[in-house]
Structure 1
Amino acid sequence: MRTADGDARNASADLILRGGVVHALCPGGGGVTAIALRAGHVARIGDEREVMALAGPATRVVDLAGRAVLPGINDAHLHATWLGAMWPDTLFGGQPGPGPAPQRPLLDAAERRRAILRAGELVASLGITSYTEPGLGPGEDHGATGAFGTSVAEQYRALAAEGLLRARVTALWLFGELDGPSDLESFLAGLAATDGTTNDPRWLRFAGVKIFADGIPPMRSAYTHHCYADGVSPSLLVAGADDAEREANLAQMIIAAHRAGHQVGVHATGDRSIDVTLDAIERARAEHDTDLGHYVIHGDLVTRPQLRRMAALGVGLDTQPEIAVRTRTLVDDALGPGSAAAAWPLQAALDEGVPLCLTSDAPVLSPDWRRQIAAADEWMGPAPDPRRRMGRLLRCYTVEPARQDHALAWKGTLAPGMVADLCVLEADPLAVTPAELPDVNVELTVVDGEIVYDRDARVAVPETA
């Protein structure tokens, strides 16, 4: 049995889940079959007898009937406002690569608010209790979608103040265009004007900034050390007169953000853009050695030596295995036969100790995290210990994103005293194969101790893919 510090032995729980398997993902959390929640936190984990000691007249008791409890899922890279506007469509749809987004622009504040709320319903139905909205700000104030500008950040502030968010939100500021250019002058001006204060950073936190370094390999816009198979030699998206100036400007952006205490997420898919990013972070750490949890977004063509540097620098990796599976042929066409086999080295990232988050990039893909875990397993190939692999991949959607959020002290596991964010699956994920996981239903989602989705209650949620 584990109990929260200072737990009053006779204080009743608000909610108890018993009779299943609880994967607390914390030290000493093995063999747990029940969990008690009180006042928005985990009060106790243990066997049924130990946990039911906290049952009182007002306690709601849920019989798991063999179902499994996990910490709430945390998608560390999910464009929720855009997702709310587009769903059930995604950029990939049924195609091997991304296509043009459906034209459903969000034209005013009311439409943006509705999109955020709709996305909140959808993610709740998937067991997602936290997500990162990666890129909101003035760089997209006149963007075609209306889903990434300053007005979206204002809607998040309003919804958080009203207590209407269905999940905890981390956001990154964006001072350039989504998937497009940025310049050093505008970036520095935006950085100086940033106001990241919120009423409750556990519900809404502006963590730092996002920078687009390059594009993606299938579009021949990933910044690489070599030309593409057809001779194309791409450049960074950051403005500059030549490659050297563009690289210097990207480095200055990263160093300036670090100096100001902001976490940086860099969209970098090519090996050369990743080198520039890591060189800049190393310089920033040499100047002011504080680990701000900077990370590479996507990292399609990251190499093993770069992964070792990332681990040494504390640089994380947010990546989407389903993109690897879907675009294999496109990457080989762009970079030459066999190139995809060396891309997305997920096992190497785990082996090297890189903080690895599996993410959906929704609405590029579906926000269904179960599909990303299945795709990761497919990409990595047969596992000598499938149960251990599943456990590690689940941590990439719970513990590691909490680390990225600088929130390991209060979320990401179900240790006593942690916030009561969890999801219930109809079967134990460690008892199924990753390929079977997408067919395992999410039964219940709890955020801050409150049930926000209950499949048995047939809560109305948006159509799922």
Structure 2
Amino acid sequence: MTEECTAADLVFTGGRIHTVDDGDRVAEAIAVSGRRIVRVGTDGEIAPLAGRDTRVVRLDGRTVVPGINDSHLHGVWLGAMWPSLLMDQLAGSGDHAHDAAPRLETAADRRRAILRTADLLASFGITSYTEPGLGPGEDDGASGCFGSAALREYAELAAEGALKARVTALLLFGELDGPGSAAELEKGLRDFAPPADVPGLFRVAGVKIFADGIPPMRTAWTDRPYTGGGHGSLLVDGGSDEEREAALRAMIDAAHDAGHQVGVHATGDRATRVVADAFATALGRDGRDARHYIIHGDLLTPRTLTVLAAAGIGLNTQAGIPVATEPMLADALGEDALRDAWPTRDALDAGIRLCLSSDAPVLTPDWRAGLAAAVTRRGLDGAARGEAQRLALAEALRAYTITPAWQDGAEGWKGSIEAGKVADLCVLDGDLFDVEPQALPSVPVAMTVLGGEVVHEA
């Protein structure tokens, strides 16, 4: 089959197509055949591919961006909680506990939550997301949202064709936001068999490890002392900081040596430094392109950024966190700590692959709100926080599309609008680049396409 002689199934014409390719090219039209994009170009270049049975979507100046990839989103938990969000509770009560959702007792409960999230994310133009931590470490967890049964439900729903987004999962062998140990991780790596991948729709990519807590709760592991005293500690078994650090390094080594991608929740400047060094050491042994990454990275010193960039380690962070919690961090660690807080601009300038994500239901899964926060660094109160770390809109959009595809090891087949890639698309009733940055969340999502199939249409 050649694109010259075969009519497309779906054509978008008369719009502004933000391809997010290497040159951030803007095109006018797209042709889709089956699950893939077959041509991107001008209206005239696409017109010959519109046949009698082709669905033609006349954009009339509307825009298309690649399907959004929320690279850190708790889908089961979100489906159980929505529209409640943890950040609202954190701001109101200082409580980061995850017992706000009703406990999911059965497979039917979990499936309903996943499918509820599927519909919600499709309405936002999200076509891929990462479930950052499901596994036996949470099989007895209070919420029922994070155990190994959820992995099976995902795999079954993917095989049934019921998902409306591609899902990547990380395994969890300790407690969510809680303690872990090298022994239980090594046992899990040895004994736990995750469900088989469903190609293109569901994949278990690696392992999630919790290094520490979060700065506002004074549970992040820091070099600076907290205002009330202490430095926090690692969430790893051990009788001293040195023993806990050695155990964390052993956990990273074990997961790496088993061939997994590793994502580590690390927020304090001491925790992020140790994790970066441990990743660099592991990668230096075999040179594997493992796509390891730090999750959150609230406090990152220039030295740690240099290590991340040199070793090819990614950073997955949430632009909405600093605009909501910077005063809490300053209260916990002092104003001086803000120099190293959520350095998104510095990370990009250092050459680090930066992914922006929601951590929903901590924050809203609406990526447009995440874009606005990354570009403006303004909170709901209008106050700007960390203005020097602002991103350009094109940079922030890449951090929601092609860079998360890199994190997934899938940048060759998704994440941008290019011929040969899957037709994962988000159609907008407006242009992100034509509105004031604070108005980005008001640009409506008109249509979501997953692999050439329309999964949402307003």
TM normalised by structure 1 equals 0.93
Partner of 2:5: 10
Partner of 1:192: 190
Opposite residue 420 of structure 1, the aligned amino acid is A
Return the offset for 1:274.
Answer: 1.1
Opposite residue 452 of structure 1, the aligned amino acid is V
Return the offset for 1:377.
Answer: 1.7
Partner of 1:282: 280
Partner of 2:381: none
Partner of 2:316: 318
Partner of 1:42: 37
Residue in structure 1 matching 2:416, options 410, 413, 416: 413
What are the equivalent positions in structure 2 for 1:18-417 lying under 5 Å apart?
A: 18-27=13-22, 30-93=25-88, 96=91, 99=95, 100=97, 101-196=99-194, 198-379=196-377, 389-417=392-420
Return the offset for 1:346.
Answer: 1.0
SS in 2 for 1:92: helix
Deviations 1:346-366 (A, max 9, x none): 110111111101110000111
Contact map agreement 1:196 1:207 (CA 8 A) in 2: no
Residue in structure 1 matching 2:430, options 404, 424, 427: 427
Return the offset for 1:88.
Answer: 0.5
Partner of 1:436: 439
SS in 1 for 2:133: strand
SS in 1 for 2:454: strand
Partner of 1:452: 455
Opposite residue 333 of structure 1, the aligned amino acid is D
State, as a whole percentage, how many aligned pairs show the same letter. Answer: 52
Structure 1: runs of 5+ lacking an equivalent: 1-5, 456-465
**Counterparts of 1:193 and 1:214 in 2: how far apart (Å)?**
26
Contact map agreement 1:213 1:238 (CA 8 A) in 2: yes
Structure 2: runs of 5+ lacking an equivalent: 378-384
Return the offset for 1:428.
Answer: 1.3
Return the offset for 1:370.
Answer: 0.8
**Counterparts of 2:45 and 2:14 in 1: how far apart (Å)?**
12
> Paired residues, what number?
448
**Counterparts of 1:343 and 1:382 in 2: how far apart (Å)?**
11
**Counterparts of 1:230 and 1:198 in 2: how far apart (Å)?**
48
**Counterparts of 1:150 and 1:84 in 2: how far apart (Å)?**
17
SS in 2 for 1:82: helix
CA 427–351 in structure 1, closer or farther in 2 if over 3 Å, else same: same
CA 272–383 in structure 1, closer or farther in 2 if over 3 Å, else same: closer
Opposite residue 408 of structure 2, the aligned amino acid is D
**Counterparts of 2:281 and 2:151 in 1: how far apart (Å)?**
31
Opposite residue 298 of structure 1, the aligned amino acid is H
**Counterparts of 1:194 and 1:68 in 2: how far apart (Å)?**
45
Partner of 1:458: none
Deviations 1:429-456 (A, max 9, x none): 122232110111111100010000001x
CA 31–401 in structure 1, closer or farther in 2 if over 3 Å, else same: closer
Contact map agreement 2:70 2:357 (CA 8 A) in 1: yes
**Counterparts of 2:360 and 2:87 in 1: how far apart (Å)?**
10
Contact map agreement 2:3 2:38 (CA 8 A) in 1: no
CA 29–334 in structure 1, closer or farther in 2 if over 3 Å, else same: closer
Return the offset for 1:142.
Answer: 0.5
Opposite residue 441 of structure 1, the aligned amino acid is P
Deviations 1:369-394 (A, max 9, x none): 1111111122276699x9x8111110
Opposite residue 288 of structure 2, the aligned amino acid is T
**Counterparts of 1:177 and 1:7 in 2: how far apart (Å)?**
51
Return the offset for 1:329.
Answer: 1.0
SS in 1 for 2:422: coil
Task: Extract structure 1 runs of 4+ deviating beyond 4 A.
Answer: 380-384
Contact map agreement 1:329 1:340 (CA 8 A) in 2: no
Return the offset for 1:37.
Answer: 0.6
Return the offset for 1:199.
Answer: 4.5
Contact map agreement 1:215 1:222 (CA 8 A) in 2: yes
Opposite residue 287 of structure 2, the aligned amino acid is D
